[in-house]
Amino acid sequence: MLALYRLRLHQLTKQLNVRFEERLAERTLIAQELHDTLLQGFLSASMQLDVAVDNLPANYPGTPRFLRVLELMRQVIEEGRNALRGLRSVSAGDSSNLEEAFARVKQELGTVDDVAFRVIAEGAVRPVHALVRDEVYRIGREAVVNAFRHSKATEIEVAVAYLRNHLRVVVHDNGSGIDPFILESGRDGHWGLSGMRERSERIGAQLRVKSKVGGGTEVELIVPGVAAFHDERSNRLLRWFRLIKTNLSGPLKLAKGKEND
């Protein structure tokens, strides 16, 4: 029975690893395509428009409108770069852990320094499956980006807890909170909250968003250890084996006692 359990465990692990590799390769391809086509196209158009604006007559009445379009394109390009960073794997070719990846978000956004931002870790760091770690990062990153852009918070904190049976990530801010309608249905034309929920479902995690208008927002993600950690499956097998050993040793000792009687 133990051999069958180990065989099934090996098969499931192999299937999961294949899915991980496929998803990572797919995301890498999407990021490359977006960079090489859409983002580069915007950059080229922005440069040409910049040159055209420089060549306009000094008192040309349409100049302010061109400048607004140019500024809008710059914003779109910056948001596109941030989106590509979000698609980036935090594990492939990168030895950094989740805390270090989250800590870079503020710098990547280029936000002002009047927001106190910190990332803390709880428990001993454990190796996390590549795809799960990427999905956790993207969920957490979306929560951090939303806090910086929409909450008007003065304090934002990310806590990453490596616990015995699960991985827990909490993003908390002291900002203006989220309107209950937006919390329930999402913001029109934006897919942040719905995307976070979909990602959490894909990795078997629980996502909770608590918010009160004027009272800040807390996003909590809980990933079961068997899905998150490399060592959890082997630990489960070891605990299962020990349980069998304990159950077997009980009757044997009892039988031995009867013989001595």
Q: What is the pLDDT of residues 121-170, one digit of tens each?
A: 999 988 888 778 888 998 999 999 889 988 899 999 999 999 989 999 99
Average the pLDDT over 95-111 and give the result.
80
- The tokens of 13 are what? 């692990």
pLDDT for residue 84 is more than 50: yes
Both 80 and 118 in a single domain? Answer: no
- Distance from C-alpha of 87 to C-alpha of 101, rounded to nearest angstrom: 13
Domain membership flag for residue 4? yes
Both 123 and 15 in a single domain? Answer: no
Q: What are phi and psi of 196, to 5 degrees?
A: -65, -40
- The tokens of 106 are what? 């503020």
Both 29 and 79 in a single domain? Answer: yes
Both 3 and 114 in a single domain? Answer: no
**C-alpha dist (Å) from residue 151 to 77, 82, 186:** 23, 18, 15
Task: Give the Cα-Cα-Cα angle 240, 246, 249 (nearest 5 degrees).
Answer: 140
Domain membership flag for residue 254? no
For residue 91, what pLDDT band results from cuts at 50, 70 and 90?
very low
Both 60 and 181 in a single domain? Answer: no
For residue 187, what pLDDT band results from cuts at 50, 70 and 90?
low
Both 131 and 187 in a single domain? Answer: yes
- Tell which residue, 134, 33, 34, has the closest CA to residue 79: 34
Both 165 and 50 in a single domain? Answer: no
Taking the CA atoms of the chain, what radius of gyration do you get in angstroms? 25
Amino acid residing at 104: R
Both 6 and 118 in a single domain? Answer: no
Domain membership flag for residue 257? no
Domain membership flag for residue 214? yes
Handedness of CA 146, 167, 222, 155 (dihedral sign): negative
Both 12 and 104 in a single domain? Answer: no
| Total-model pTM | 0.62
Both 97 and 52 in a single domain? Answer: no
Q: What percent of the chain has pLDDT over 70?
A: 67
For residue 94, what pLDDT band results from cuts at 50, 70 and 90?
very low
For residue 200, give the CATH number of its domain: 3.30.565.10
Domain membership flag for residue 253? no
CB atoms within 10 A of CB 241: 13
* Boundary residue ending a domain (37, 55, 88): 88
Domain membership flag for residue 261? no
pLDDT value at residue 257: 42
151 in Cβ contact with 216 (< 8 Å): yes
Sorted by sequence, the CB contacts under 8 Å of residue 12 that are 6+ apart come out as: none
Mean pLDDT score across all residues of the chain:
77
Sorted by sequence, the CB contacts under 8 Å of residue 155 that are 6+ apart come out as: 115, 116, 117, 173, 174
Digit-coded pLDDT (tens) for 18-71: 666 666 667 666 766 776 677 778 888 888 888 898 899 988 998 999 998 888
Tell me which residue has tokens 């192999």: 14
**C-alpha dist (Å) from residue 95 to 99, 101, 121:** 12, 10, 16
Both 66 and 98 in a single domain? Answer: no
Q: HSE of 87 in the Cβ direction (CA atoms, 13 Å)?
A: 18
Domains: count for the chain: 2
Collapse the DSSP code of 115 into the 3-class scheme (helix H, G, I; strand E, B; otherwise coil) and give the result.
Answer: coil
Amino acid residing at 250: G
**Residues facing 218 on adjacent strands:** 172, 210
* Boundary residue ending a domain (71, 88, 105): 88
* Boundary residue ending a domain (88, 104, 130): 88
pLDDT for residue 256 is more than 50: no
Both 121 and 78 in a single domain? Answer: no
pLDDT for residue 233 is more than 50: yes
- The tokens of 227 are what? 């899905």
Domain membership flag for residue 241? yes
- Distance from C-alpha of 134 to C-alpha of 152, rounded to nearest angstrom: 27
State the residue range of the domain holding 45: 1-88
161 in Cβ contact with 122 (< 8 Å): yes
